[in-house]
Structure 1
């Protein structure tokens, strides 16, 4: 699994300070994608277990959630990283352009954002979006948290 970018973010999961890993190799190629450079496999640096654990350790007590922007195409690696984050006390989230994901991945998520980017409908901050932000345990849609 290659990580193009790592950031501490405040808006991807409302109410959480999140460690956000942007994974390259996206196979979806959504029309109007704001990050087509993420389509290329192997772009960025290999996200080793040591580096990942070091980041989670460094931000423990400050950040509360780990977010993966993509990566569901690396199911085994993603599940292992989600499990580790949960074991360390972090909440977990996946942003995907898919409508559904493998239940084995979903079992290790607190939140899930689904739906391809459609520039005509907008993102989670749009009332017309096709995307959904879901609390996995309850299957409750929480898009209203993104509306201003």
Structure 2
């Protein structure tokens, strides 16, 4: 009996950057963070969007299965997918029965070793092939300033994923003047190098494409004067982070 419904903000049929191969992506409602550069502010609220059961969601995705070459499959993003862990676990369990690759794109901000959260997350990870983990800032206080929350749970989640050997792609949105200084990047590089389960390390350049969403929602855009990083700045960050050393998965 399927009892869990997911709140889905949007879907993308042919995602090419959120996990291996081509992927069907579900963007879920709800997020505990308020990142100043968030490009999906419409997902902040936990309800809304389209209600869907896991079988309904899988049926939508499976229409595109013939395109899932090179390890493609389903990715659940957000928002924060771990807030709807029950729904995602059910969806991924059904997907694995069909031989479909599963991936979550998460900040890890709700991780806890306390019950009942820990059991919910371990059940989800058991049917998850790859975790895309966004680390916003390595410094606790600067992370709080950037997102409204500290990074303790996020780094603990990264360590737990390493502990269980779960394949991970680390992602870092590079924001000029906020997390692009050499000291912060070097600390992040050291942290990621110590994990041992990281397949890819991606620098995602900050962009301003979501400003219109804030205007539509009547929210002040938090970074009105922050420019997008130059190609040189991105290359410099990639060099400090040694991203080229993580080649466990190649496109």
- 1:107 is the counterpart of 2:126: yes
Shift of residue 35, structure 1, vs aligned partner: 1.4
- 1:55 is the counterpart of 2:55: no
1:47-83 deviations in Å (ceiling 9; x for gaps) = 2234313213311221221100032112221111111
Counterpart of 1:19 in 2: which secondary structure?
A: strand
CA contact (8 A) 2:7 2:48 kept: yes
Counterpart of 1:143 in 2: which secondary structure?
A: strand
Shift of residue 113, structure 1, vs aligned partner: 1.6
Q: How does 1:89-104 map to 2 (within 5 A)?
A: 89-98=99-108, 101=111, 102-104=121-123
CA contact (8 A) 1:67 1:93 kept: yes
Scaled by the length of structure 2, the TM-score of the pair is 0.47
Unpaired runs of at least 5, structure 2: 1-5, 112-120, 138-142, 147-170, 175-179, 205-242, 245-251
1:88-133 deviations in Å (ceiling 9; x for gaps) = 111111111116842222111111122354598xx54769496999
**Larger CA Rg, structure 1 vs 2:** 2
Distance 1:54 1:34 in 2: 28
Distance verdict in 2 for CA 1:103–1:50, change over 3 Å: closer
Aligned twin of 2:225: none
CA contact (8 A) 1:2 1:44 kept: yes
Shift of residue 145, structure 1, vs aligned partner: 9.6
Distance verdict in 2 for CA 1:50–1:141, change over 3 Å: closer
Q: CA RMSD in A?
A: 3.3
Aligned twin of 2:9: 4
CA contact (8 A) 2:83 2:110 kept: no
Distance verdict in 2 for CA 1:115–1:49, change over 3 Å: closer
Scaled by the length of structure 1, the TM-score of the pair is 0.76
> How many aligned residue pairs are there?
141
Distance 2:130 2:55 in 1: 25
Aligned twin of 2:197: 139
Which has the larger share of helix?
2
Unpaired runs of at least 5, structure 1: none
Counterpart of 1:68 in 2: which secondary structure?
A: strand
Counterpart of 1:46 in 2: which secondary structure?
A: strand
Deviates more, 1:46-55 or 1:78-87: 46-55
Shift of residue 29, structure 1, vs aligned partner: 2.2
Q: How does 1:18-37 map to 2 (within 5 A)?
A: 18-37=23-42
Of 91, 94, 97, the residue aligned with 1:84 is: 94
